[in-house]
Structure 1
């Protein structure tokens, strides 16, 4: 099996209406390849939400952005304005000829704490 070419956090937790960041690290040689962030437990059916252009330019689509740091061999995915329904299995991936490389990341979303205003009764 050798050394994994790409690694990431097993699980990442975010707060509803907040944001979360996932950092995936890859080995030397993959710097200029396209990196992607995919949603869905089944690898071949997962839906790519955002993909780099092969540069270090940040790419944003809807509430998700991805940025590759080729010097550190790390790419960062940010998901914003989180919803409970965002909880799922995702993949950090590298696009290449043949089978892409990928690693699963479990995203969990905690409900937003109920704020004081929402609970306060009529003024006393």
Structure 2
């Protein structure tokens, strides 16, 4: 295989963890929230989106950008990208109990999208806030960090394997 393929695979493997959002957001019914997702400025011209689903594969896009600095609104949900700051902000208004769930900040890419999970917890009122278990938030935070820790190791291992493979391929030719 040629060197350009190897360079593509290397850049693909080391740029995967370039999108971050908050782990958990707590809100009350009727409130509005603003979620800011930061990304590597390399992805400034890529389409950003906000989706809901329990897994990355089942994530249904709710709203997305159509150009780098243009906001797009879908009813109660708005998204706006700020390419200078390397972030996009999603606003959800008039929250209901049905809005609770797992959401994802996303950047559309050719082979697979960059995604960062955000858990949204909705409660009825101030008294209900006391019943939120901090252990749930801590478990989600630990799972997210464990995922990124493992991926940070695996991507560099993948990079080294590709580099060694490229060297062996060049030496055999």
The TM-score with structure 1 as length reference comes to 0.86
Displacement of 1:2:
5.0
3-state SS of paired residue (1:44): coil
Are residues 1:100 and 2:113 paired? Answer: yes
Q: Who is 1:74 aligned against?
A: 87
Q: Which has the higher helix share?
A: 2
Counterpart CA distance in 1 for 2:114 and 2:23 is: 16
Q: Distance in 2 between matches of 1:14 and 1:82?
A: 8
- Measured after TM superposition, the shift of residue 42 of structure 1 is 1.2
Q: Which runs of 5+ in 1 are unaligned?
A: 115-124
Q: Deviations over 1:27-79 (max 9, x none)?
A: 12100100000001111111100000122111110111100000000100000
* 1:50 to 2:63 alignment: yes
2:43 aligned counterpart, secondary structure:
coil
- Greater strand share, structure number: 1
Runs of 4+ that moved beyond 3 A: none
Task: Classify the secondary structure of the residue corresponding to 1:49.
Answer: strand
> Please, what is the CA RMSD of the aligned residues?
1.5
Q: Distance in 2 between matches of 1:36 and 1:17?
A: 23
Q: 1:60 aligns with which of 73, 83, 88?
A: 73
Return the index of the structure with the highest Cα Rg. 2
Structure 2: which 5+ runs fail to align?
Answer: 1-12, 128-173
2:100/2:121 contact within 8 Å kept: yes
Give secondary structure in 2 for the equivalent of 1:85.
Answer: helix
Alpha-carbon deviation of 1:85?
1.1
Residue in structure 2 matched with residue 111 of structure 1 by the alignment: 124
1:38 matched to which residue of 2? 51
The 1-side partners of 2:66 and 2:101 are apart by 25
Contact between 1:18 and 1:82, CA under 8 Å: does it hold in 2? yes
